[in-house]
Structure 1
Amino acid sequence: MNRAETRKRRRPAKACEPCRQRKVRCDLKQPCGPCTRSKSSVNCSYRDEAALSKQEGQFRVQRRPAVPPPPQPGGIGPPDLTPSSIGGETATPNDDLRQTVRELQERLDGLEARVTRGETRKVSSTQNSRLENDVRALTDRLQTVQNQLTSSSSAATVVSASDRTAIRAIAPHLRHSARKVKFLGPSHWCHKVDKLSISQLMTTKEPPEPALDNVKSVLKECRDLRQSIKSQRSVKLSDPFPNVRSTLPSRGECDELMQCYLRTFEPIYRVIHVPSFWAEYDEFWGQPRPNLSPFLAKLVLILAIGTVFRSGEGSLAREEYQQLAQIWIYAAQWWLAGPSEKSTCNLDGLQVSCLLLISRKACGLGPSPWLSAGSLMKMAMAMGLHRDPSNFPSLSPFQAEIRRRLWATVLELELQESLDLSLPCLVPPTVDTKAPLNIDDRLWTPDSTTMPHRQPNDEVTPASIQTLLYITVKLRMQVLEVIHHCQEQSYQRALDLGSQLRAACRKAAAFFSSANTDTDAEVESCKFQAKFIDIQLHRYILALHTPFVVQARKDPQYYFARKACLDSVATMAAYANALNLPADAPDDICRLFVSGKGSFKGPLSLDVIGPIGLELVTQLEEEYFPGLDGDPLDKLAGAGRDHLIETLEHILRQLFQIIAMGTPSMKRFGLTAAVLGQIRAMKAGRDIKGVVYEAVIQSFKDCLLALQMSSQRTEAMSGLDSAATAVDFGIPDPTLPGFDMDLTDSIFGLDFQALFPFPGIDNSMSTMLS
């Protein structure tokens, strides 16, 4: 290659950019002398920083790195790069801010180095002061840019390059009508089943000509009977403060109801100090007080919860206990929120509020929009329970520990309600209350000046279960935060949290397996709490993975979420096997399934029925081919599928038995029958629409017969406005005022959205019926 063909390399520029533009000699300092004298030092920068590094020796300005250095102490340092800056393909709105941060960081390092090395002694005092001002100005600018970058990053979540499996957040649904407005958040059960053919069928604009008349007539009769039964059973209190003391049964039966509560919910929701409450209980029977006092309000709520778990023996019938439970709950509710509400702003009022929420869910009344865990939390915060009692030296040790226990109970109720109602968690970030002590109630009293030493968390005490749940509070709050994120849901984040939740389930199972149970009552209590907590924790796993299960139907990379969801829902559904109405006398957890609302329904809830149906339909779409025998793998998958179908059929039979016992819970029964109809149609290769409508019509005909028998039994009773059944199985039924199905005020008296709340169903069904 000759000299003419050789390209001559240009010398790198050794002057700063301002000096090159002004064509003056630069001394290669930072800032250089000419820029300092021209009062433009803040703009002094170099194109080639290598030359400056050789000239300055120890003082060097580093090249801009491809990967940013770690943050400096004090929070000064460039933040992590976005996936686009790593890949270099696409730019994000934060790239300009990040570039500015790096430039300011380099210049600030140079100025601070000069000040530290004492080079400013060579200049005048005026220049020295100017240099210090420049350092402060750069520091302020850097902090301002970093604050802008932080706020921008929090406003729009940036997904890391390694997490390419994130999906868009589930769009929430809203039911809006003149009578009812309801927000259906991302953890609502309708999101688990709205991808089934049933939802598409119910939202179709094609009218089902022969089936519509049958559905209309059957539902109209069901609606009329339901309204009649509700009118007969509703509680009418002429006096908002009835003589509640006179409604209490004998002390022996009250003792039994107290024990029912203490062996079931009190170890989970620590509301009372048991020895102190027993002392007040004995004093109450010694000197009865007719007026509704704070103690009597707590007592009647405890007795109402106890009616759910009673064995069925005693002088009063089951329907009488059910009616009394309603009276007790409404009386305590009126005492709490009525004219005496100012006198309830104390720990007694907070305890009554906790018991009121638990009793409404356990006895079938369900949640109230005006009596929520959110208002309970506001009430607790107004009393300062979100701050640790160590901040208030005037509190006695007994008061301090009661406050910690009540705050843990408020947190538990808030987390459960957030998942039940599919709403974001309202736990404030400014909380410093410590966990309650793992100690036995018998070791401390209201007069104790010191508290006993905390026992290890793995040692069993009456407070162990609350301590066990409190450890998982932050984890479950993170799950709710991921579920309700408005932008995207990270698959990797969901996998990490799901793994931690499964570890928490295993830890809880190990705790209960190692618990010392000497008596039959302790064994029964331990079984109830183990099953209850296992169901509650698996509900978070189910809600966390459900959005990805829907995506897994078309993208196999989400298969693990589908498997985790199936494992959790199968675990929860397995607890329904112990429920065998009307043959067997159920245990405590089954009594709660029959009587409870929301998460207390356990395997009988739509949160379980929906995912099972979705999994079965997905398996049939993937593996079943009509007319072919299939390979051995298909047969093996078919065996597991048949087990899920049997589980769903068992749940359907139990739901019908509950209706036959006098509880018109038709929504779960009708939807389960429709899901099974779709599965049967897919297995037989038949038309899905026709089979589903046949199943829905038959299910409501069965409900109609059961409601007619219930109405006749109710009319035959004299002097008692409560539910009645021919056989007493020892299970209190949910009350009709809590029944949330609305079949009125719609075209032809039908409200399909109350049965199947899928998006767009109002307009589509109006078209069908017009």
Structure 2
Amino acid sequence: MEIQIEQVSASDTVMTAPSGPSPSMSAPSDKAVLTPSSLPPTEELQHLRSRVKQLEEQLTKTVRVSAGPATPSPNYNISTTRSHFAGTFHVASESATAGQPPTISRSIMHKTRVFGQSHWMNGVAQFAEVLDLIEPLLQKEGARAMSNLTRCKWLGKTIKAQRTPAWPCPPTRDLPRKDVADALVGNYLRTSESVYRVLHVPTFQRDYEDAMNSKNAEMPFLILLKLAMAIGSSIYDDRFSMRATAIRWVHEAQTWISEPESKARLSLQFLQIHILLLLAREIVGVDGALVWVSTGELFRLAVYMGLNRDPEFLPIMPCYSSEMRRRLWNTILELVLQSSMEAAGPPLCSLDDFNTLPPGNFDDEAITQENPIPAPDDVFTDVSVALALRKMVPLRLCIIKILNGISSHAGYEDTLRLDQELRVASKLISRELQGYKTKGSGGRVPSDYQTRIVDFFIRRYMTAIHMPFFSVSLNETQYAFSRKVVIETSLKTWCTIFPMSSAMASHSQNNALPLETDELSRLALCGTGTFRTSSMQAVFLIAAELKTQVQEETSTLGPMSLRRDLYSVLQEAKKWSLHCIEAGETNIKGYLFLCLVCAQIKGLMNGLSREELPTVLLEAAEEAEAGCLSILEGKIDSATIDVERQDDMAMDPVSEIMADWSLMMPDTHFYLGDSGNMDWMTMDSLAACASYSIDGI
């Protein structure tokens, strides 16, 4: 059969929600989202308060999703998939219409964890059929694919063990050379700090210079500095050559913060260390999957210190102190939302939990002055990006609660309303950020990294709200809009993270930085967390669309026509996923499963029958594993272990080895520590663990 690949640019498609009944959830207006720019400080404060209250009332009246019964309804079903590759996982789904087969995925259960609808595995679950096809061949005794996978698993565990210091890991005063430290600190300040405001940069830079020139720096600051450098090390080069050092710095911080006298350290600096530790754990890959649990403890710690109360309701304090409290609370809210999306768990907080106003539109230098006046809203400052994201907190919080709550599930009409809300808010934020660049006043403008991060977050939510209906949309035209949104948003997510992708319009590639120098692309390559997993989710969703297109085309008499931009993403993703392993990733299953999916699609394009596909899949698995083996064997420290001595391999049972469905997420573990007698904060972490876990599955 002749195959034609149709060229469609990522920028050629404009998505518009289908017209329908007037939504009961009105889109936020400019007044409801944007802050005043020319009011006196006292009036502005009162105006902001009334707007926050207006948003809360609006949110209460907007999406009223009927809560379902606590017990599964008659059209609720749990399907189970068991495989030597993936272990056992369960998909809980329900039918879109009463009396119809279950089609809408509501949650995924794997090992002792339960993932809500925002989890990236909902995209991967579209290809459970691949596991069913290859499973009979894996069950044969002596299957090379299984033995190679077992060996890769052991090599990965050994490499991680060699990187990980012994626990506990007491903090030291050792710092890298000044030129290396300068590069790491610069990386952190340009990227993470420009979005998540944690530090007062002038004060931090002054203390940093003192620490590098003196051996008397206080340990808390050294911990803070090492965490900032650990985050910056993820983009130091395209091989993450400082990974082992970054892991040690994270362990040192965790050891220090877990000491029992932590109750006596309740200060803004202690909060800053907590925040940077969570960011570093996710990016460096030290128990990043449990960041959502630890974020619950951080949230309660901040409440314990009163950061959820606006400084106006606290004893009089300098502008510096009040603005730093607002900034830290703002960042903690971002971590709550991001970790909830990533872990697919409920946010466990609400708008009723705080009255802290957004930070003032100040540059860092301004808040140390006496009675400073915030800059107008159309002037870009050090907090402008953080303020842009803050304006979307109510809507994003609402979306996460609906997606990952236990009793609130959005119907399709609610999904379309959320889509409309998100588009309106997105346009307002985009207009604001673009306005800084077009003002023509010669002032500061947001960096390429900052604008792409905001764009990425918006697309992450857009994908999530339509994901529950994506699987059914592949076969039912009633949900065709969700299919269109998910695919186009996934494509643009990929191009946002990798602007050099051939899927980008040709005119957009001229200003794109190569992978070796682009900081966001390098972060997705070397780091872990949301950028890595969202990239993988986008790829598997695009693969699901291509597979459906192939199946639809085989029923026609004409030549097969597929979108070239979607097909090119799959080819790029295979190279990128292998590059991640070369950069230090030790879990090969993401790359392996992607190779299987690509092999299935290629086989369908070539007209292979269902009976012929398993052999093709097995060959693809063996080829992928051989490449991974070569890379992993080159990374292991042969001075400490002989990789050829198979008898010395401390193998887990095959069932346990193959049960790891983390794909691209590392599973380095360490003792999470004890925060003294702060039982209230610790109980929040326990509650989060209980929400995240399920026994007997």
Scaled by the length of structure 1, the TM-score of the pair is 0.65
- Tell me which amino acid in the other structure corresponds to 1:620: V
State the SS of the aligned residue for 1:372.
helix
Q: Does 1:240 align with 2:175?
A: no
Moved more, 609-618 or 543-552: 609-618
Aligned to 1:78: none
Aligned to 2:364: 441
Aligned to 2:558: 629
Q: Does 1:281 align with 2:204?
A: no
- Tell me which amino acid in the other structure corresponds to 1:296: L
How far is 1:156 from its partner? 6.1
Cα distance in structure 2, aligned partners of 1:217 and 1:567: 39
Within the candidate set 587, 605, 630, 1:665 is matched to 587
- Identity within the alignment, %: 26
User: Quick one: structure 1 residues 550 and 749, their matched pair in 2 at CA, closer, same or farther if it must change by over 3 Å?
Assistant: closer
Do the aligned residues in 1 keep the contact of 2:130 with 2:596 (CA within 8 Å)? Answer: no
Q: Does 1:498 align with 2:433?
A: no
State the SS of the aligned residue for 2:113.
strand
How far is 1:363 from its partner? 2.1
Q: Which runs of 5+ in 2 are unaligned?
A: 1-63, 71-94, 503-513, 642-649, 666-697
Cα distance in structure 1, aligned partners of 2:66 and 2:396: 24
Do the aligned residues in 2 keep the contact of 1:196 with 1:617 (CA within 8 Å)? Answer: no
Do the aligned residues in 1 keep the contact of 2:234 with 2:240 (CA within 8 Å)? Answer: no
Aligned to 1:190: 121
Q: Does 1:299 align with 2:299?
A: no
Do the aligned residues in 1 keep the contact of 2:184 with 2:236 (CA within 8 Å)? Answer: yes
Cα distance in structure 2, aligned partners of 1:678 and 1:318: 32
State the SS of the aligned residue for 1:260.
helix
Do the aligned residues in 2 keep the contact of 1:670 with 1:700 (CA within 8 Å)? Answer: no
Cα distance in structure 2, aligned partners of 1:201 and 1:275: 57
Within the candidate set 450, 462, 468, 2:382 is matched to 462
- CA displacement, residues 116-144 of structure 1 (integer Å, 9 cap, x when unaligned): xxxxxxxxxxxxxxxxxxxxxxxxxxxxx
Aligned to 1:480: 400
State the SS of the aligned residue for 1:198.
helix
Do the aligned residues in 1 keep the contact of 2:198 with 2:327 (CA within 8 Å)? Answer: yes
Do the aligned residues in 2 keep the contact of 1:674 with 1:693 (CA within 8 Å)? Answer: no
Aligned to 1:218: 148
Cα distance in structure 2, aligned partners of 1:756 and 1:353: 25
State the SS of the aligned residue for 1:502.
helix
- Tell me which amino acid in the other structure corresponds to 1:568: T
How far is 1:368 from its partner? 5.3
Within the candidate set 604, 610, 617, 2:535 is matched to 604
Equivalent residue runs for 1:365-380 within 5 Å: 365-367=286-288, 369=290, 372-380=294-302
Aligned to 2:349: 427
Equivalent residue runs for 1:561-710 within 5 Å: 561-574=482-495, 575-576=497-498, 578=500, 585-601=516-532, 604-605=535-536, 607-625=537-555, 628-630=557-559, 638-640=561-563, 642-688=564-610, 690-691=612-613, 694-695=616-617, 697-710=619-632
How far is 1:753 from its partner? 5.2
Do the aligned residues in 2 keep the contact of 1:604 with 1:655 (CA within 8 Å)? Answer: no
Equivalent residue runs for 1:233-382 within 5 Å: 233-236=163-166, 240-243=169-172, 245-246=173-174, 248-289=175-216, 293-310=219-236, 319=241, 321-367=242-288, 369=290, 372-382=294-304
Equivalent residue runs for 1:517-596 within 5 Å: 526-574=447-495, 575-576=497-498, 578=500, 585-596=516-527
- Tell me which amino acid in the other structure corresponds to 1:215: A
User: Quick one: structure 1 residues 654 and 285, their matched pair in 2 at CA, closer, same or farther if it must change by over 3 Å?
Assistant: closer
User: Quick one: structure 1 residues 198 and 649, their matched pair in 2 at CA, closer, same or farther if it must change by over 3 Å?
Assistant: farther
State the SS of the aligned residue for 1:578.
coil
How far is 1:459 from its partner? 2.1
Cα distance in structure 1, aligned partners of 2:65 and 2:182: 60
User: Quick one: structure 1 residues 749 and 359, their matched pair in 2 at CA, closer, same or farther if it must change by over 3 Å?
Assistant: closer
- Tell me which amino acid in the other structure corresponds to 2:236: R
Aligned to 2:89: none
State the SS of the aligned residue for 1:173.
strand
Cα distance in structure 2, aligned partners of 1:552 and 1:324: 46
Cα distance in structure 1, aligned partners of 2:629 and 2:591: 13
Aligned to 1:733: none
Moved more, 501-510 or 372-381: 501-510
Cα distance in structure 2, aligned partners of 1:566 and 1:171: 20
Cα distance in structure 1, aligned partners of 2:445 and 2:591: 30
- CA displacement, residues 479-526 of structure 1 (integer Å, 9 cap, x when unaligned): 1122134254221221122223233434444444444599xxx99971
Between 1 and 2, higher relative CO (CA 8 Å, sep ≥ 6) is seen in 2
How far is 1:717 from its partner? 7.2
- CA displacement, residues 276-325 of structure 1 (integer Å, 9 cap, x when unaligned): 2222223334442266x22111111111112123358xxxx963x32221
Scaled by the length of structure 2, the TM-score of the pair is 0.71
Do the aligned residues in 1 keep the contact of 2:271 with 2:302 (CA within 8 Å)? Answer: yes
How far is 1:460 from its partner? 0.8
How far is 1:263 from its partner? 1.0
- CA displacement, residues 614-634 of structure 1 (integer Å, 9 cap, x when unaligned): 2122222333337x325xxxx
Equivalent residue runs for 1:155-170 within 5 Å: 170=105
Cα distance in structure 1, aligned partners of 2:237 and 2:150: 37
Cα distance in structure 2, aligned partners of 1:748 and 1:295: 41
How far is 1:674 from its partner? 1.7
Do the aligned residues in 1 keep the contact of 2:309 with 2:354 (CA within 8 Å)? Answer: yes
Cα distance in structure 2, aligned partners of 1:577 and 1:692: 35
Task: Say what the alpha-carbon RMSD is for the aligned residues.
Answer: 3.7
Do the aligned residues in 2 keep the contact of 1:411 with 1:427 (CA within 8 Å)? Answer: no
State the SS of the aligned residue for 2:315.
coil
- Tell me which amino acid in the other structure corresponds to 1:241: P
User: Quick one: structure 1 residues 755 and 410, their matched pair in 2 at CA, closer, same or farther if it must change by over 3 Å?
Assistant: closer
User: Quick one: structure 1 residues 596 and 493, their matched pair in 2 at CA, closer, same or farther if it must change by over 3 Å?
Assistant: same
User: Quick one: structure 1 residues 152 and 560, their matched pair in 2 at CA, closer, same or farther if it must change by over 3 Å?
Assistant: closer
- Tell me which amino acid in the other structure corresponds to 1:647: V
Cα distance in structure 2, aligned partners of 1:748 and 1:250: 43
Do the aligned residues in 1 keep the contact of 2:65 with 2:411 (CA within 8 Å)? Answer: no
State the SS of the aligned residue for 1:267.
helix
Pick the structure with greater CA Rg. 1
State the SS of the aligned residue for 1:489.
coil
State the SS of the aligned residue for 1:572.
helix
Cα distance in structure 2, aligned partners of 1:355 and 1:307: 13
How far is 1:536 from its partner? 1.7
User: Quick one: structure 1 residues 556 and 276, their matched pair in 2 at CA, closer, same or farther if it must change by over 3 Å?
Assistant: same
User: Quick one: structure 1 residues 509 and 746, their matched pair in 2 at CA, closer, same or farther if it must change by over 3 Å?
Assistant: same
- CA displacement, residues 581-632 of structure 1 (integer Å, 9 cap, x when unaligned): xx96231111101122221316632x21221122122222333337x325xx
State the SS of the aligned residue for 2:110.
strand
State the SS of the aligned residue for 1:219.
helix
Aligned to 2:690: none
Aligned to 1:414: 336
User: Quick one: structure 1 residues 394 and 688, their matched pair in 2 at CA, closer, same or farther if it must change by over 3 Å?
Assistant: farther
- Tell me which amino acid in the other structure corresponds to 1:297: I
Cα distance in structure 1, aligned partners of 2:288 and 2:324: 25
Cα distance in structure 1, aligned partners of 2:285 and 2:611: 34
Aligned to 2:633: 711
Within the candidate set 175, 190, 197, 2:110 is matched to 175
State the SS of the aligned residue for 1:188.
coil
- CA displacement, residues 674-704 of structure 1 (integer Å, 9 cap, x when unaligned): 2112211222221346435633553454334
Do the aligned residues in 2 keep the contact of 1:366 with 1:598 (CA within 8 Å)? Answer: no
User: Quick one: structure 1 residues 310 and 218, their matched pair in 2 at CA, closer, same or farther if it must change by over 3 Å?
Assistant: closer
Do the aligned residues in 2 keep the contact of 1:512 with 1:526 (CA within 8 Å)? Answer: no
Cα distance in structure 1, aligned partners of 2:394 and 2:65: 26
How far is 1:393 from its partner? 2.7
User: Quick one: structure 1 residues 279 and 565, their matched pair in 2 at CA, closer, same or farther if it must change by over 3 Å?
Assistant: same
